Structure 1
Amino acid sequence: MAALWILFCLVFIPQWGVCSSTLEKANVPVSYKTLNFNLETASKSSYTTFVSSLRGKLKGTKEYYGIPMLPEPSKAKDPEQRFLLVGLNVTKEKSITLALDVNNIAKDSLWKDAKERLPIKYPSTYGGIEGKANPRSKVELGIEKLKFAILSVFGKQQIKENLEAKLLLLSVQMVSEATRFKYIEKMILNSIERKGTYKSFFPNPLVISLENGWEDLSEGVRNSKNGVISPAVQLIDPNNKPFKVDKVQAVAPYLSLMNYEVEKPIVSDQPCQNMEIAIDTIL
């Protein structure tokens, strides 16, 4: 059976929305940059290397106060430059591949060979996906949780919406958000005791407010004067108390990759227009 391919426009766009997924392995050109993570043998060291490699492959040439920024969209014109394929392997036979889209290009121009396309029938926002799964605060993150979520949909002809949505929440946060935020990476690292021994955790209010505030934090750092962010960005601490960030040095412990913004970002609850699942199965 073929691996499950999932096409996400999650790391790179003003909203993180998940736009589409799955394609058969044979249809993906070998020239695309790829990065793999073995969930079966995950360790603190391997996860750190994985996230660091993601940041290295995704960042552009510009940075502000030592915080790198995604590349300018016009710099990634060729499909090979626009997509990074990230494989999450549960076993040798069972895996998913996330295609991270630099420019949020129309997927059909690249993935035109998929034989079956199944539209996702809910908005491609955290709010829309949480409505089908659960609020992020009630969905545990961790290596075993991600493995179980992959296996719950892998090889299934009919995928239940709640299981599909839960996989989206887990993979987005443990790949995309951990790449954006050192704080979220650290939370996941703390859940890895050693190879083969894993804990899970519920995202605390700070994790969720960072995820919701990526665009504002990125804009604040880019537009800061002498390290001062104005207006200040409001976050929520782990104890659910609001606090304001008005200096770049206060953002640095959290933010590891900024978005590239040409225009004002799309509001967080506006869905992607191209959200669907494209399934291609090989027996």
Structure 2
Amino acid sequence: MNTKKIMMGLGLAATSVFTPFTFAKDVLTSTPVTYMLSEQLMQGTGVETTYLPPKRYGIERLVNWFAGKGQQQVIKAGQEATVAITLGAIWHLDPTYVYARQGNVRLIEIDASQAISPRAQGVAALTLEDGETSKYAWLNPTNLIRMAAIVGDDLQKVYPQHQVKIEKNQQALMLQVRELINLQQDVIFEKEIDSVVLLNESLEDFASGNQLFVVDRQFKPELEWSEVEKHSLKAQFEQDKTLWLVTNKRPSKMLNALIPQDRILQIDVIDRWGSKGIKIEDSLARWRL
């Protein structure tokens, strides 16, 4: 009877290793961009990366999930992990390391947004109107190169036995990001996108990274727009035929009624795993326009 229980326990343990979004052996993370970086850099090493939160949860909901339903899961994951990759420098409330460390005080934090070193190489962080730092630095593709360098350098130190492989993966990822930058610029040039109106604060990094001139910002939910605001937005696009609207959501019927569809650019802000996830064979797909 005891033997049977032991075998059942081993079976459950084996299942947990190979089931997505369960407990990790090596690297823990909580955002699609840090998962992408870890998976690409550690390809061919056998080191596993686990994405901790539920697929449907966006970055704005993670703090509550870690403090509530996810707390015990994360602590247990921390017991078997070596590294937690965070965005702590630009997202001070990033809960990944804080909670996972409760299961393993020896857990190593790698901050993808700023190197934890005397030189402290970091991403180009934006300060928003309210004085807070934008969390969406990954929408500026140039920042992805810096993130890859920061995470790659640290992973080589944590896993010196895989140093050559990680370095090779890092160089390949940086090349892919440079190709992405060229592709984005080609689309922006072809569509003649220069001046824009932003519909969400998360798009600030995208606009800055692509050197777009922000004419206006309308961050209120559409349901709260007054008739005056609707008329003003429509008038802006009637008066300036080169103006584009950039949104992080599928354009609504109301928005399409106010603005020509061929002057609306929808951006995936990659703030959650969602239905698309991160495809290892095409890890930058969601960054393409």
- Please give the TM-score of this superposition, normalised by the length of structure 1: 0.30
In terms of fraction of residues, the more helix-rich structure is 2
In terms of fraction of residues, the more strand-rich structure is 1
- Please give the TM-score of this superposition, normalised by the length of structure 2: 0.29
